[in-house]
Structure 1
Amino acid sequence: MPLLHNQGAGVVAGGDTQAFFNTFDATKRPIAVTSKLRQYLDEEGQVIHVERLAQKMTSWDLLYYLLRANFDGVKSDYCNVPKPIEGEGKGLYEYGHLVKNVRDAGQHVEVEYEGRAGNPEKTTADLVIGADGPSSSLRNLFLPEVQRKYAGYVAWRGTVPESEATDVAQKTFVETFTFFHAPGTQILSYVIPGENGSLEPGKRLINWVWYCNYPEDSNDFKELMTDSDGKYHHITLPIGKMRKDILERQREYARKVLPRQFADIVCDSKQPFIQAITDVISPQNSFFDGKLLLIGDALAGFRPHTAASTSQAAFDSLKLYEMMNGEISSKQWEEETMEYARQMQKKGVSMGQRSQFGGHPLAQMQDMARS
């Protein structure tokens, strides 16, 4: 059975994400590591600011396998498959199907798509939910003018096994949400579940995200997004596809500009990957009189600074559950989910612009200390 590839990414498990899994995850498996505080480092690796704020941290792969176990009974080492609930429908996860067109057919929506063999196929549904990401094919059918736009910087991402990290890195990052800011750069780190979702100390992963500026028309950006096979990637450079010379150059740069703890985990990550930061938001999330809906990243792609992309998907889904149970109206669902999308998308742009092209107060604090 084909499965989505794990990008090794950490996820902040916000309140909506926790509420979603508490409500719908029949495995009842714990999903998160707790970061007990936020702390900010200067370029010497010294703590310059602390916020007593506990947050839950999880991983993309653990959430994925929990969802698949619940939806269509996929077996894995991450969790047990829950027993079917009497009277519950059966989920079917089909791969390799590309939606080509949708049509309002009165009481139903007619969906035309290309099957795995490339043959045209068709089906009908009472409700179609577009949850196909920030480059949503469904959204593009209705609003082709709404396109993802590159924000001028990328996120380098990677992980290091907790047990393999240097002593100073372990002391700094284990169960803390740690940041470093400098002009034009930001890096952060936190611990996430390890192999097969392990939450056991020593078996977890130290996850990091490093934002670096690359103008879209620069040779540096084009080289960065060209993989070891010579293929250019517009949004994500996958794990295992980075050119060795690019990786070594970034490791050298890390040693020059980052606090030692952060440089250690960047250099010790065997297979980092790249995510180009983009902006996109749809002006609406309901079509065909509410028979076709957009949720999550298909509605609005947030910059990662918000730590809210997973939360948006959870929030939209929880609200959809309320609507289908008659607790809120379809109009209320549209308004509440659109308001969430607008607010968080705007917040993400503001946070990213300040971090990468403005003056972050913690970066300014370091400048003041040096002077």
Structure 2
Amino acid sequence: MSAYEGSRALVIGGSIGGLTAALLLRDLGFDVDVYERTPTDLDGRGGGIVLQPDTLRWFRERSSQRPEDVSTTTSWVQYIGAENRIIDRDARSWSHTSWGTFYQALLSDFGRDHYHLGEFACGFDQDEDSVTVRFVSGREEKAALVVIADGITSANRARIDPDVTLEYSGYIGWRGTVDEADLSAETAGLLNDAVTYNVVPHSQITMYPIPSKRGLAKGQRLMNYVWYRNVPEGPELDEMLISKQGFPGKVSVHPNQVQDRYVNEMRETASRMLAPAAAELVTSTESPFIQVVWDSRASKMASGRVALIGDAACAARPHAAAGTAKAAADAWALSDALTAAAGNIAEALEKWEPSQLELSSNLLTRVKAMGERSQFTNTWTPGDQDLRFGLYGPGR
């Protein structure tokens, strides 16, 4: 019998990191409930993610669903320049998925009976034996372990580390997808089996195929991209983040909510600055959206029986494609620590925290350097190993 049989765990935040943690805790014997503040299933707004080994590990080791059922794979990493000329190309295989596809696969494994939508956790208290979590709805829940995975704007992080701040990187990401069947044959052929970069002065765009609702095969997928563009902090950024409905944003502006004047300027600039294939992809996007690139890292990830994981603990720029991998790595390491502690939750969290803090620090240092090279010093060079995807830290 597991040391945790009959113990209860709460996961605050039902995204990819939260669901991975919930599945692993349930495997340890915990009775697990997940509380997600949004009232409907999450969708990731159609964005794509690169699948690192930590992210895929659940499907490789524990799930009846296979990694190839939820992802696409590319064979190359390439750089294109003017007139779509390939200026660098390496044989490197990566797997990709849509955020929504991966989320739904994890949710399918966890099930809906203990997945609660529309519950905003606004605070907690704890003693030696348990944690009590309070919700905006008036609900209160008690558990032996609480995992906070409520993202970059975490409402509960301050109770663990009150000094965490969001620091603006100096640039945003324009994101979107286009059905590859709607692209020209030349563009689809150039992009369909690669992670493709187009680097221009003080900017770059990264493109790769992801699953669509139609399927995973070539011709059925979506072509996904993120295009990094510098925007000064202050009034210019603040105005850009006001939605069409007049609501100010902080971390993103959703599809169909970006003001038309910014979308029009983005398309005009893409046509002028980017390689033809990249420009076609951007200008063909029906509903592009904005993701603000922030830096954030907590100096504490554990307090008694409460753990902080994923973007709630460390929000890293997307250049290493390691955000979801970091959240999954936090969850797997937590599972290992709890197993080793044989029932002593506070001891497990205390031993788990140092290596995850180091992993966060290493990742954030690395992606900051990558961003500087891309957006400000113009030293992002094809083939440089320091610019590769991945999550690297202690023992990696």
Q: Same fold (TM over 0.5)?
A: yes
Distance 1:332 1:141, change over 3 A: closer
Contact 1:9–1:207 (CA under 8 A) maintained in structure 2 = yes
The reply on whether 1:105 has 2:138 as its aligned counterpart is no
- 1:147 equivalent in structure 2: 165
Distance 1:42 1:355 in 2: 15
How far apart are 1:100 and its partner, in Å?
A: 2.7
Mapping for residues 42-191 of structure 1, pairs under 5 Å: 42-73=81-112, 92-115=114-137, 120-191=138-209
Q: How far, CA to CA, are the matches of 1:264 and 1:8 in structure 2? A: 18
Q: How large is the RMSD of aligned CA atoms in angstroms?
A: 1.9
Q: Distance in 1 between matches of 2:295 and 2:324?
A: 16
Matches for 1:345-360 after TM superposition, within 5 Å: 345-360=364-379
Could you tell me which residue of structure 1 aligns to residue 21 of structure 2?
A: none
**How far apart are residue 361 of structure 1 and its match?**
4.2
Structure 2 unaligned regions, length at least 5:
1-38, 343-347, 385-396
Q: 1:228 maps to what in 2?
A: 244
Tell me which moved more, 173-182 or 39-48. Answer: 39-48
Contact 1:302–1:345 (CA<8 Å) still a contact in 2? yes
Query: Structure 1: any 5+ residue segments left out of the alignment?
Result: 74-90, 366-371
CA deviation map 1:197-234 (0-9, x unaligned) = x2122110100110000001243x23321222222212
Assess if the C-alpha contact under 8 Å between 2:170 and 2:230 holds in 1. yes
For 1:309, the equivalent position in structure 2 comes to 323
Give the number of equivalent residue pairs: 339
- Give 1:146 deviation, angstroms: 0.6
Tell me if structure 2 keeps the 8 A contact 1:184–1:356: yes
| Residue 32 (structure 1) aligned to one of 62, 66, 71 | 71
Which residue identity does 2:117 align to in structure 1?
Y
Task: Using structure 1 for the length normalisation, give the TM-score.
Answer: 0.87
Q: 1:87 maps to what in 2?
A: none
Hey, what does 1:81 align to over in structure 2?
none
Q: In the aligned structure 2, how far is the partner of 1:149 from the partner of 1:237?
A: 18
Aligned pairs for 1:289-328 within 5 A: 291-326=305-340
Separation (CA, whole Å) in 2 of partners of 1:311 and 1:137: 22
Counterpart selection for 1:41 from 66, 80, 85? 80
Once structures 1 and 2 are overlaid, which stretch shifts more, 24-33 or 206-215?
Answer: 24-33
SS for the counterpart of 1:316 is helix
> In 2, are the aligned partners of 1:180 and 1:188 still within 8 Å (CA)?
yes
Amino acid at match of 1:12: V
- TM-score of the pair, normalised by structure 2: 0.81
1:344 and 2:358 equivalent?
no
